Structure 1
Amino acid sequence: MVGEEMSTESGFFLPVENVQALASNNSGEIPSRYLRPELQSEEVLADESIQIPTIDMRKLMVAEDEMGKLHYACKEWGFFQLINHGVAEEVIEKMKADLQEFFKLPLKEKNAYAKLPNGVEASERNMRFWPQEPTSFRATFDKYSSELQKVSICLLELMAKNLKVDPGQLMNMFEKGRQQIRMNYYPPCVHASKVIGLTPHSDICGLTLLAQVNEVQGLQIKKNGKWIPIRPVPGAFIVNIGDILEIMSNGEYKSIEHRAVVNPETERLSIAAFHSPSVETIIGPLPELVKENGAIYKSVSREEYYKFAFSRKLDGKSIISHMKLEN
């Protein structure tokens, strides 16, 4: 949560120097592990009029055309911005404020919550390891995560209806599932064009909800071979389909490759909530969606799925490629 990690082949993580500390030394030197020379050859779309769809959750409850927009967004983009989602503004703003206060703490205090060598992700650990400073952090986090869980379940119900599958089946899988929260800090870098904040990847979970803590652009998605910078809508959650939902929908909904780039002048902070199904869930296409054309993905246990996912570093859509059945 407070620095960068490097994955090992076993799926554990080795700590590297805290990125806030690294950025504050003002040496201008970039460690070789952060340099990504291939970035300069990848095309970033300059047309700002091309953006992911915006979905109004309030309208989803009453308007059929909004349900159509949701279905289109999931099929064609895999990403959308969700407005009027029902999470109180004060809950979101308090979470943002507490997170910003946490990152202002001295490095020694933040390191008390860093992962141990060969430890698990911070989001996998017991809540007692979450920060005690600011003093309101734990209560704020608990309320925020609870509200996002409600939003995710509601979205999954609506997506199931659009897919013409039993909403109860999908909701039951995720209501008993796991929610993981990641707090992201991307420091400014004067050599922003040479480094990456987060490697291109698709999310291994079912559904992700992202909140921008400040309005600094950094998220980019890949569509038709080009990177599209996402302009955050104030107050919206950026929602994206994860690999599990692409697999369950038998490819009808798309898990899209995305990345985070850094800003040359300003830090960027965000909060990502990842939602996954219960441990007994079989990760594979839903039975109703394979009757006509057959399955295009394997069906494996959740344990086997995550064992493979955690055994490799972030790498485009490698998990989807692994799960696809050979023709």
Structure 2
Amino acid sequence: MERSDNFLHEASYLDQEGQFRTSRVPVIQEIARRGIKHLPKRFIMVYPQYDHDPVIDVSEFLPSISMANLRARFKPEDRAQELAKLASGARAWGMFVIKDHGVPWSVLQGVRDVVKKFFGLSFEEKKASVGSYVSVDNMGYGRNFVKSEDQPLDWIDRVTMKAAPAGATQGLHRPHPPHAIRPRAAGGLQVLKDMKWVSVTWPPEALLVNVGDLLEIMSNGRLKSLWHRVVTQMDIDRFSVALFYNPSPQTEIEPIWDCSLSDEEYKNVVVGDYLQHLYKISPTMEKEAINFSKTPKP
């Protein structure tokens, strides 16, 4: 019988003193494969009180944006209507559904199949093909945001990769400009809206776009990057693909000036500085990283 300590992720990180550390944490797939009766203590988290309220489904309220109408140069009224819906969804929900996007169903299915096949490989094959996760650059296979030997851990295995060459403006990075999430049909996505967790689903052929922290900063708070999470099910594997689009780390972003605001809530930040701050404080039980970009109040 295989020993359980043969299946451990090695997560590298900088501790509070700035020292480079490596923590060994369990591989979720291997724990589930062997079967468990009780959740290991290290994967139990205590969330704020609002986390225990009943969860309702709000999918019908999310705007569904037609890319075909956005491209309708000769039908300005259709384009204006879609833009208004997009703005409304980004302001009220921090997300919206995209349809008529032109991505073939075969491509969406192909992405899901590749992800499923990768996680279907043995632990050794996955580790050899991608490498262990390193939190300094947020890349690799394994666990992210490990900061100590005793912190509670998410119930997830993940792989993070760049989708474009170094220096390009697109990448599979931690937030936070807009990103599209493409889950398996298992569902489970929840968003914290008005201090209540609500459930979100959308058609399998559509894409869900989330407003990220950088857009919240650039919009001076007009658009909101909402806190979201995934709830797993006991008997179903869940796969999701999140694509993050970031400016280069050297880019300085600034909030849009608004003469109607007496005080500017957000300040200029360098993208790389913001992401380093995010990596440094994560994981958190609240959405705290965005405070890095807010102007201190007197």
TM over 0.5: yes
1:298 aligns with 2:267: yes
Percent identity between matched residues is 27
Alpha-carbon distance change, 105 to 261 in structure 1, aligned in 2, over 3 angstroms: same
Cross-structure match for 2:132: 115
User: 1:114 Cα shift?
Assistant: 3.9
Per the alignment, do residues 12 and 298 of structure 1 end up closer, same or farther by CA in structure 2, a change over 3 Å counting? farther
Question: What is the root-mean-square deviation of aligned Cα atoms in Å?
Answer: 3.0
Rate the CA distance shift 1:246–1:229 in 2: closer, same or farther, 3 A: same
TM-score by length of 2: 0.75
Q: CA deviation at 1:39?
A: 7.5
Deviation at 1:12, TM superposition (A): 7.6
Residue 101 of structure 2 corresponds to residue 101 of structure 1: no
Corresponding position of 1:71: 87
* 114 and 47 in structure 1: CA distance in 2 versus 1, 3 angstrom threshold: same
Distance 1:86 1:3 in 2: 38
Aligned mate of 1:279, from 246, 249, 252: 249
SS of residue matched to 1:102: helix
2:36 maps to a residue whose letter is S
Amino acid at match of 2:177: G
Counterpart in the other structure of 1:180: 172
What's the counterpart of residue 307 of structure 1?
276
Alignment partners' CA distance in 2, 1:277 and 1:230? 28
Unmatched 5+ stretches in structure 2: 1-7, 73-77, 142-160
Name the structure 2 match of 1:19.
28
1:208-239 alpha-carbon deviations (Å, 9 max, x no partner): 11111x20111100111111111131111111
Asked if the contact 1:44/1:229 (under 8 Å) is kept, the reply is no
TM superposition shift of 1:303: 2.8
Query: 1:6, CA displacement in angstroms?
Result: 8.6
> 3-state SS of the aligned residue for 2:280?
coil
* Residues 178, 107 of structure 1: alpha-carbon distance in 2 compared, 3 angstrom cutoff: same
What one-letter code is carried by the residue in structure 1 that aligns with 2:110? K
Question: Unaligned regions of 5+ residues in structure 1, if any?
Answer: 125-140, 147-174, 182-202
Q: Give the superposition deviation at 1:90.
A: 1.7
3-state SS of paired residue (2:90):
helix
Rounded to whole Å, the distance in 2 between the matches of 1:31 and 1:106 is 22
SS across alignment from 1:276: coil
SS class of match (2:245) = strand
Structure 2 residue aligned with 1:29: 38
Between 1:251-260 and 1:231-240, the stretch displaced more is 231-240
Residues 1-16 of structure 1: pairs in structure 2 closer than 5 A: 8-9=15-16, 14-16=23-25
Task: Give the counterpart of 1:318 among 266, 288, 298.
Answer: 288
Runs of 4+ in 1 over 3 A off after TM superposition: 2-15, 37-41, 47-51, 116-120
Change (3 A) 1:73 1:6: farther
Q: Alpha carbons of 1:71 and 1:49: their partners in 2 closer, same or farther (altered >3 Å)?
A: closer
Q: Which residue of 1 aligns with 2:224?
A: 254
Q: Judging by fraction of residues, say which structure has more helix.
A: 1
**Aligned AA for 2:117?**
E
Q: How does 1:71-150 map onto structure 2 within 5 Å?
A: 71-112=87-128, 113-115=130-132, 120-122=137-139
> Contact conserved, 1:207 with 1:242, CA < 8 A, in 2?
yes
Tell me how far apart the structure 2 counterparts of residues 12 and 68 of structure 1 sit (CA, whole Å): 48
Match for residue 52 of structure 2? 42
**Cα gap change, 1:269 to 1:15, in 2 (>3 Å):** farther
Residues 209 and 15 from structure 1, CA distance in 2 versus in 1: closer, same or farther, beyond 3 angstroms?
Answer: farther
**Do the aligned residues in 1 keep the contact of 2:10 with 2:132 (CA within 8 Å)?**
no
**1:126-177 alpha-carbon deviations (Å, 9 max, x no partner):** xxxxxxxxxxxxxxx99xx58xxxxxxxxxxxxxxxxxxxxxxxxxxxx952
Cα deviations by residue, 1:185-206 (Å, 9 ceiling, x for unpaired): xxxxxxxxxxxxxxxxxx7311
| Number of equivalences | 256
- Residue 179 of structure 1 aligns to a residue whose secondary structure is coil
Q: Distance in 2 between matches of 1:227 and 1:253?
A: 19
Counterpart amino acid of residue 253 in structure 1: L
Residue 182 of structure 2 aligns with an amino acid whose one-letter code is A
* Structure 2: distance between partners of 1:273 and 1:104: 21
Match of 1:189 in 2: none
Q: How does 1:168-207 map to 2 (within 5 A)?
A: 176-180=168-172, 204-207=175-178
1:244 Cα deviation after fit: 0.4
Check 1:307–1:47 CA distance in 2 against 1; reply closer, same or farther (3 A cut): closer
Higher relative CO (Cα under 8 Å, sequence separation at least 6) belongs to 1
